[in-house]
Structure 1
Amino acid sequence: MSTKYPIPSHVSVQSFVTVKLSDKRMYGLWKTQMLCLLMSHDMLGFINGTSPAPAMQVDDELSMWSRLDALVQGWILGSLSEEAAITVLNRLNQHMHVTAKHIWDQVKITYGQQEEQDEEREGCGSPCIDLNKKVKEKQVLYDAVEGGKLQEAVSILHKKNFGITESISINGNTALHIAAAYSSPSDDKFLKRMLRLTDIPLMEVRNLDGSTPLHLAASLGNANAAKILLETCPDLLHAKDNQGCTPLDIIRSRPLNKDMCHLLKSTILQETEQAYDHEPLVVTAISYRHFDLARTLIQRCNNSLKSPAVLMAIAQNCPADFTTNQLIIYELLRTSVLSFITRDISDMKGCSKLAIVILRAVLVYTYKMLIRICLKLQVFKDFKELMEEREDAIALLDAVCNLIRSSNESVCYRKLYKQAMLEAIRRDASDVVAKIVYWFPDATLIRDEDCHNFAQAAWKNRASKIYALILDRNLLAKHTSLSFDSEPNEAGNNFLHFAARLGPARKLDLISCPPFRMQRELQWFKVAQEIIPQGRRTEENYLGETPEMIFTKEHKGLVIESGEWLKKVSNSATVAATLVLTALFAGVTQVPGGTGDNGVPNLISQPAFCIYEILITISAAAASLSLLMFMLIQGSPLTQDDFLHRLPLALVIGWVSLFVSVALGMFAFGAALFLIFGARNPWVLGLVAPIVALPISLFFLIYSWFILSALADFWHSTRHFMVLHMLHRLKLVGRIFI
C-alpha cells in the first residue's frame, strides 16, 4: 500500500473543535480550530488543493485518497450544527463528486467574511481577522432599516458601498428582508424605495434559509409588505426555501390577521390555481375564525374534501357559547317583533285594519329607534358582531356541506361528518348539528366511542340546545325516526337509566356552587322522566336497578359534597346575621340624640332621623329573613329532592337579604353620625359618606363575582328548561337555532 498519504491516528473532532459552527460570528474560532486539527495530521492539502485526487489509473492511491478525503469531510460536517450542515449540503447538490475542498469552500462562502477571503487569497497568515468595523456598520444599517429611517438607510448604502442584497444579519437576512419584515403598514414608501435600489431579481434575494423577503413578510403577518412584493414580482408567491416551503405554505401555518385575510382574497388567491389544495389554508382560516375567507376558499375549490379536518374545524370554532336568551334577543334585534306578532291579522278589513296599520307603523318606528340606541352601546355591538360571526360560520358550513354532497360519493359522507357531529354535540353547537342533519339526514344514526346514539350523546354532554332541536319534530322528525323512547340495550337499560348517570365534570365545573350543580342534575333527570312514557319510568334493568336507584347511586357523592358545603356556609352566615341583628336592636333601643322625659326621641323632627329609622327597620327585617333562611338550611335533612327547589331558593334569599341588611345597616350608621355631628357642621356629610361607602364597595368588588355567579346559576337552572319548552310550544326552536 502506498505511503504517499498520511495515516491519521484515531482522533475525535470534538477534541480539537469545541464549537459547533451555526452562524458567522463563530466562523473565525471554528476555522482556527479546524486548521489546527488538519495541520496536526498533515492533511491541510485536502482543503487548500495541494493534495488533489490522483489519476484514475492508480487504484491503490485513489482508494487511500478517497478514504482520507471522506475522513476530512466527516470532520468538517461533524463540526457544523445540523442546520448549517443541511444548508451547506443543499448548496452542493450541483456537484457530481463532492470533496472535502468543496465543503470547505462552501462553508467559507456561506459563513466567512469577504475580507477574510481576500486575505487568504493574498497568502496572509492568521485566519482570525478583526471585522469589528464592518460588523458595526452593518448593525447601523440594520437598525436604520428596522426603524424605518429611509434617508439614513439610503445614505449608509451609498457611503459605505453596501449592496442592498448583502447580508447584514447572522442568519443572512439582507436589507430587503428586514424592510419586508418590519415596514409599517401605514407607510409603503420605505419598502418601495428599497426595492428600486435592488440590482438583482427578487427571486435571487435569499437568506441562509433560502427565504425570500416575501417569506419573512408572510411569517410575520405583514400584509402591506407582502402586497408590495407581489406587485413587484408575482413569482415570489411560488418561490421555495431550503425546506421546500412557499410563502403561501407559511401563511396557512401562521395566525391570520384581517389585513392578511384581505390580501389573500384580493391578490394571492388570484395568483393561485383553482386546482391548488386549499384545504390546509381553509382549516387555518377557520381556526382563527375568519369564516368569510374560508368560504371564499371553499367556493374556489374544485376538488373534493379529502379529510374531515374542515368540518371538524367548524365544529370546534363555530360560536356556541351564547345562551338561549341571547339567541332570542338577537332575533328581536334582526327582526321586526311587531311585524312578527301582527302578521296573522293582515286579512282584516275596514277600520280595524286601518287602525292596526297605524298602530303598527308607530310602534315599529319606536321599536327601530330603540334598537338603534341600544346598538350604540359597546355591549350590544360586541353581541351583534358575535352573532354576525355565527351567521358567517353557518354560511360556511352550508358551502362545505354542499361541496361534500356534490364532489363525494354517498358512502364517504359518514367518515367526513361523524367526528364533526360528535364534537358539535360535545360543545352544544346546535347550529352545526342542525345544518349537518339538514344536509345528511343519516347523521342522526351515528354512535360515539361508547356506542351511544345521537340522543344519548346529547344527553351525556348536557347539550341543552341540541335537546331543544330534538324536541322540534318539524326540524328533525322529517329526517329520521329518532326517539328517546328506544328499546332497552343489552344490559336492559332504557333511556331513563342512561339519563340517571352523573353528568360530565367539564359541564358541572361551569357551575359555581355544589348545590346548584345538584339542582341542575335533578332538572335534567326530571326532564328525562317527562320524555319517557309513564309505564317505563320504573323499569328495572337486568341488575334489578330502576332509574331512580341509579340516579341516587351516581349522585351520592355530589349530594354529600353539596350538604357539607351548605352546612359550612349556613353556619358562617347564621353567625353574621345574628351579629347584625344584635347591633341593629341596640340601635333601635338607643337612638341618636337620646329621648326626652316622655320617651320621644329628641331628634325626631330631623329628616335624617326618619331616614335612620327606616334603614334600621328594613335592615333588621332583612337580617331576620336571612337568619331564618340559614336556620332552615341547617335544619333540613338535606335529602336528594331538597336540592331541586327548596335549598337553592333558601340559599339565594339568605345571601341577598344578608347583603341588603349589612349595606342598609352601614347607611343607617352614617345617618346616625350625621345626626350627632352634622347639625352644625355640614362638612361632616362629606366625611361620613366615604366611611360608609368604603366597606360596602370593597365587599361588593371582592365578592360580587361569587354572588352574581351563584345568582346566575340559580336563575339559569330555574328558567333554562322553561325557555326551551316555551320555544318548543311556540314552534320557534328551528327559527332561533338555525
Structure 2
Amino acid sequence: MDDNATIRNLPIYKAAMNDDWDCVEHIFDANPDKLDAKITIWWETPLHIAIGTNTSHRFVNNIVENIVFTDARKLGAKNCWGNTALHYAAKLGNTIDAKLLVSKDPGIAQVTNTEGHTALKLAAWYGRHDTLWYLLGVTKDEPGENGMSPYSGVSGADLITLSITAGFCDVALYLVKKYPDMVTQKDRNGDTALKVLASKPHVFPSGSKLHIFQNLIYSCIPVDLEKTSDHTFRSFISKLILLISPKDLYNKKLMHVQTLKLVERMCSVVIEKGSHDIAWDILGTAVSTAVKYGIHELIKVCVETYPDIVWYEDDGFYLFIAAIRYRQEKVFNLVYRMTGHKVFAATVNSNADNPLHIAGRLSPLPRLKTVSGAALQMQRELQWYKKVESLVKPIYKEALNNDQMTPRMVFTNEHKDLVDEGEAWMKDTSSSSTVVGALVVTMAFAAAFTVPGGNDSNGLPFFLDDPVFLIFIVSDAIALFASTTSVLMFLAILTSRYAEEDFYYALPKRMMIALVSLFLSLAATMIAFSAALALVLRDEIPWIAAPVTLFASVPVTLFAMLQFPLLVELVYSTYGPSIFIDV
C-alpha cells in the first residue's frame, strides 16, 4: 500500500469520523473503487472507520448501500489483522451497524480474523452484551474459514469462558443448554468454563457485599427463570416487590440465580459423560479454584454431584486443608457439616504439615485484610487456630513437621510481625486517647468545685434546687467517672504484656470498655457544659439552651461517627456470632 494514500484519503477519513456523507459523496461517485479503499496504514476502509466511531450511522448506511450496489463481497474487506467491519462493530458494541452488515451479507458473521476470532467471540471478549446476544442469533454452528465451528473446540470454549469473564451468566447458561459439549472443552488458556466460573466470586451470592437494608430487599425479590405464572395474590406481591426494588439489586439477584443454575447444569453435563477422568479433571480444578475465592456455593454443588471430589489434591492440599490454608470459613463450614470427610481429609502434606500447622501459618494477605487493624487480624488468626485445634487429633497438637516445628511454634514464628503491628496500633490508639481522657478528668474534677453561679456563705451552690443544676452535677459526675475508667483501661492496654493470647480476648475487651467510657465522658461533658451555660445565661438570653445543646452535640456526633465503626467491629469480632458453625 502507498503510505501517501493516507494523506490523499484524509477527507474520506474525516468524513467517516464525523458522519458527514454529503461532503464525500461526489468522491465515491467519481471513484467507486474508494468505497473499500485502504485509507489508513492499518488497511482500514471507510467502513471500518465509520463503524468504529459507533456514531456515524448515516455514513455507514449510505456507504453500505453503495458497496452492495457495486459488489456486496466488499463488505467483508479486512484490515491488516484480518478484521472486518463486523469485527469492529463487535468490539465497540455497535449493534445498529452490525445488524445492517449481516442483513446485507449473512456470511460475514462466520468470517475469522488472522487469530481465528469471529465477531461473536470479540463481542464476548470486549463485554458487549447486546451485540453478543444479536450475534449469537446470526452466527451459525458450522465450520468457518479455519475449519472449526464457533461453538466447538477451543473457539467454543473461548466463547463461554469469555462470556463468564464478562459476567454474562445468562449467555453462558444459554450456551451450555444449546451446546453442552462446551463444558468439557478447554479454552486457549487450557481452562474449562467451570474453572473460570470458580474464579469469579462477584457472580455468586457469597461474593456480593450488601448492607442490611439491601439484604432485606434482596431476599424478597422474586426471580423466575422459567417465567411461569403463580398464584394470583403471590404474583401481585411479586410484581409489587419488583416495582419498588432497585434495578441494580434485581439484576444482581438475577445474575446469582442464573449462575447457580449454570453450575448445576455444568455439573450435570460432566456426570452425564460417565467418565471419572473427565469429572476428576473438570470438577477438581473448579473446586480447587473456588476454595481460593471462598465460593462455597459452587463447591457444594460439585461435591453433591461427585462426593469423591473432596479428595482432589491441589499442590498437596485436600479440600478441607485448603479451606484452612486460604482462610475461607464458609468453605470450611461446608466441609465440616459433611459427614466424616473432614476427619479423613485432615492429613499431613509433603512437608509433614498437619492441619494445625496450616492454621498456624499467616493468612494470605487478601483474607487478612478482610478484618481492619492488625489487632483484630491477630484475633481472627487466633480464632482460626483454636478452632482447628479443637478438631484435630490430639497427637497433631505437638507433632513436628519437616522443619522440626510444632504447630504453636509455626504460629509464633509466622505471626511475629503481626503481633508487633497489633501492639503498635494498640499503643498509639491508647496513648492518644489517654491524653483526651486525662483532660476530661481534669475538667470534670474542677467543675465539681467551681459550680455555675457560685456558692453561698455556707458553701452550698446558689442553684442547688434548680433542676438544670441537677443535670449539670450528674453529667459532671458521669464525665469524671467515665473518663477515669477510660484512662485506667487505656493504661491497662499500654502496660499489657502483648502476648499472642492477649489479642484473642483481653486486649479487645479493654479497648471496647475504654472507647465506650471515653465516648460517655465526652457526651456527659458536653451536657454539663450546656447545662452550666443555660444556668448562667437563661435570665439574660432565654433561648440560649437550644443552640448551645445543638452545637454541643456536634463534637459528640463526630466522635461517634469516627470511632463507632471500630467499636462495632471490636464487639462483633469478640462477642458476635462465630465465623464457624458448630455441629
Alignment TM-score, normalising by the size of structure 1 = 0.64
- Alignment of 1:212 with 2:92, yes or no, is no
Match status 1:308 vs 2:191: yes
Equivalents in 2 of 1:382, 1:301: separation in Å?
A: 30
Contact 1:428–1:466, Cα closer than 8 Å, also in 2: yes
Rounded Cα–Cα distance in structure 2 between residues aligned with 1:482 and 1:215? 51
Matches within 5 A, 1:250-649: 250-254=122-126, 256-268=127-139, 275=152, 277-301=155-179, 303=181, 304-306=184-186, 307-318=190-201, 319=204, 320-322=206-208, 333=219, 376=244, 385-407=251-273, 409-449=275-315, 451-473=316-338, 481-483=341-343, 494-533=354-393, 535-536=394-395, 538-541=397-400, 547-597=407-457, 601=461, 612-613=472-473, 615-649=475-509
Distance 1:371 1:682 in 2: 56
| Paired AA for residue 53 in structure 2 | Y
User: Shift of residue 326 of structure 1?
Assistant: 8.0
For residues 651 and 716 of structure 1, the distance between their equivalents in structure 2, rounded to whole angstroms, comes to 13
The one-letter code matched in structure 2 to 1:289 is G
The whole-number CA distance in structure 2 between the counterparts of 1:177 and 1:612 is 79
Name the counterpart of 1:231: 103
Instruction: Give the residue type in structure 1 aligned to 2:365.
Output: A
1:531 is displaced (CA, Å) by: 1.7
Write the distance in 2 (CA, Å) between the matches of 1:579 and 1:657: 14
Q: Is the 8 A contact 2:260 2:297 kept in 1?
A: yes
Pair 472,484 (structure 1): closer, same or farther in 2 beyond 3 Å:
same
Tell me the CA shift for residue 598 of structure 1.
5.8
Change beyond 3 A, Cα 1:624–1:274? same
- Alignment-mate amino acid for residue 454 of structure 1: L
Distance 1:663 1:641 in 2: 33
Report the 3-state secondary structure (helix = DSSP H, G, I; strand = E; otherwise coil) of the residue aligned with 2:362. coil
* Shift of residue 435, structure 1, vs aligned partner: 1.6
Write the distance in 2 (CA, Å) between the matches of 1:484 and 1:447.
Answer: 13
Structure 1 counterpart SS, 2:93: coil
1:196 aligns to what? Answer: 65
User: Which residue identity does 1:459 align to in structure 2?
Assistant: I
CA distance in 2, matches of 1:483, 1:324: 34
Given the superposition, is the C-alpha separation of residues 302 and 287 from structure 1 closer, same or farther in structure 2, using an over 3 Å criterion?
A: closer
Compared CA separation, residues 603 and 372, structure 1 to 2 (3 A): farther
* Gaps in structure 2 of 5+ consecutive residues: 143-148, 223-232
Partner residue of 2:227?
none
Shift of 1:635: 3.6
Q: Which amino acid aligns with 1:196?
A: E
After TM superposition, the score normalised by the length of structure 2 is 0.78
Quote the Cα distance in structure 1 between the aligned partners of 2:141 and 2:534: 76
What's the CA shift string for 1:179-237, capped at 9, x where partnerless? 423345xx977754554344434541436435332121112122333233223322221
SS at 2:317 equivalent:
coil
8 Å contact kept, 2:169–2:255: yes
SS at match of 2:97: helix
Distance 1:230 1:332, change over 3 A: closer
Q: CA deviation at 1:648?
A: 0.9
Asked if 2 retains the 8 angstrom alpha-carbon contact of 1:202 and 1:212, the reply is no
Q: CA deviation at 1:374?
A: 11
Letter paired with 1:445: W
- Give the AA of the match of 1:292: D
Contact 1:559 1:640 in 2 (8 A): yes
Q: Distance in 2 between matches of 1:663 and 1:197?
A: 79
Deviation at 1:465, TM superposition (A): 0.7
CA distance in 2, matches of 1:327, 1:454: 34
One-letter amino acid matched to 1:461: Y
Residue type of the partner of 2:65? R
2:194·2:282 contact (CA, 8 Å) conserved in 1? yes
How many residues were matched structurally? 550
Paired with 1:309 and 1:435, the residues of 2 have a C-alpha distance of 17
SS at match of 2:199: helix
Alpha-carbon separation, structure 2, partners of 1:323 and 1:570: 32
Contact 1:265 1:296 in 2 (8 A): no
Deviations 1:431-464 (A, max 9, x none): 1211221223221112221x23222111111111
Q: What residue identity is the alignment partner of 1:515?
A: A
Cα distance in 2 for partners of 1:610, 1:201 equals 97
SS in 2 for 1:724: coil
1:305/1:404 contact within 8 Å kept: no
Give the distance between the partners of 1:500 and 1:112, measured in 2 at CA. 69
Looking at CA atoms only, which structure, 1 or 2, has the larger radius of gyration? Answer: 1
CA distance in 2, matches of 1:225, 1:435: 42
State the shift of 1:526 in Å.
1.9
Shift of residue 680, structure 1, vs aligned partner: 4.5
